[in-house]
Amino acid sequence: MDDFKILTIQDISCVGQCSMTVALPILSACGLETAVLPSAVLSTHTAGFQDFTVKDLTEEMPKIIEHWKKEGIRFRALYTGYLGSAEMISYVLTIRNELLTDDGVFIFDPAMADDGKLYPAFDEAYVREMKKLCAVADVVLPNLTEACFLTDTPYKEDFNGRWVNGLIDSLRGLGAKQVVLTGVSFTDHSTGVASSTGGATYYYHHIKYAKGCHGTGDVYSSAFTGAFMRGMTLHDAARVAADFTARCIGYTQENYPDHWYGVKFEPVLPELIEKL
């Protein structure tokens, strides 16, 4: 059986331009066959909509895993995002351990926090479980807040390169083989990413838009996963994904200044395809 498939595990927010509805189109645009395991179905994402509905899908996971095992299905990469409950993390570990090919890659976006705070659905128990995924990740893709939660580091907005390098060392201390840290901003008008593999850490900076946008973490991680699985180095994939995400924010703010719940990444996809 052809095994050059990616499996992505994250929620379906039916409306909201995040998680699965961002990952699938981006990975497809990158030319990669993508299988899905929805972790939960929500009527919308949880950041700004009121009274959203949530259906957790943890209990489906063992049945799906068993079926895939029987069929001999394996994946060349596992890419996880927003999961939703601490209980499902043991199943994610089973998938990582038993359904990846021998050279398979686990790309872990610990989507659980931003701006110094956990998302509403999560607590310390969830963070504890996420540390177990970080320990076996080939690449971990946190923003600064998530990196702080994973490493028990107090969050701060004013920092220097030494502090960021310490955070990267702590993530690698947890077990993550390679790190791409997002939202690393040393000046008011720029932001960027720090990518670290082997002994080398590179910083890449680009324009910072005044207003932050929801869903950009998922756009970034999906574009990174697409570029990395198309064979780019960690540093190149980190840079291509950063440029794409910045362009999506710029495009949205120029053309749809009132669009608040996500970014209009769709019209920018041709630019990502050109870079691959």
Q: Could you list the residues that contact ligand PXL (CB under 6 A)?
A: 11, 13, 18-19, 42, 45-47, 81-82, 111, 119, 217-218
Question: Which letter, b or e, does each residue of 9-18 get, where b requires 16 or more Cβ atoms within 10 Å of its Cβ?
Answer: bbbbbeebbb
Rg of the chain (C-alpha set): 17
Comparing CB distances to ligand PXL, the nearer of 8 and 19 is 19
Rounded Cα gap, residues 14 and 83, in angstroms: 15
Comparing CB distances to ligand PXL, the nearer of 55 and 189 is 55
Min CB(52)–ligand PXL separation in Å: 8
Min CB(122)–ligand PXL separation in Å: 10
User: CA-CA distances (angstroms) from residue 100 to 62, 72, 92, 111?
Assistant: 16, 11, 11, 21
Comparing CB distances to ligand PXL, the nearer of 107 and 235 is 107
Min CB(45)–ligand PXL separation in Å: 4
Of 94, 99, 101, nearest to 62 by C-alpha is 94
Comparing CB distances to ligand PXL, the nearer of 129 and 218 is 218
Min CB(10)–ligand PXL separation in Å: 7
What is the number of the residue whose Cβ is closest to ligand PXL? 46
Rounded Cα gap, residues 241 and 145, in angstroms: 19
